[in-house]
Amino acid sequence: MEDRLLALAAAVESRAEYAVGHSELGPDHVLVDEGGNPVVIDIAGLMYFIFEREHVSLRIRLRISTGL
């Protein structure tokens, strides 16, 4: 098992691109200004991480809150 785990870990490449994201970003954390631009109003959850994490978190949150 250890050999398999080490082989899998060795196959993971370092990520070259990260993004700033909001761990609980949803419709209730964004307003629209007079020019129609989105404005984040709750920055307490901002983090620097891989973009896919934000995408998955938002999909889960919206699915739960909308019941889809």
Q: Domain extents for the chain?
A: 16-66
**pTM score:** 0.33
Low-confidence ranges of the chain (pLDDT < 70): 21-27, 45, 51-55, 64-68
Cβ atoms within 10 Å, residue 45: 13
Sign of the Cα torsion 43, 49, 55, 56 reads: negative
The confidence score (pLDDT) of residue 22 equals: 64
CB 23 within 8 Å of CB 45: yes
Could you report the per-residue pLDDT of 30-39, keeping only the tens digit for each? 788 999 998 8
The confidence score (pLDDT) of residue 66 equals: 58
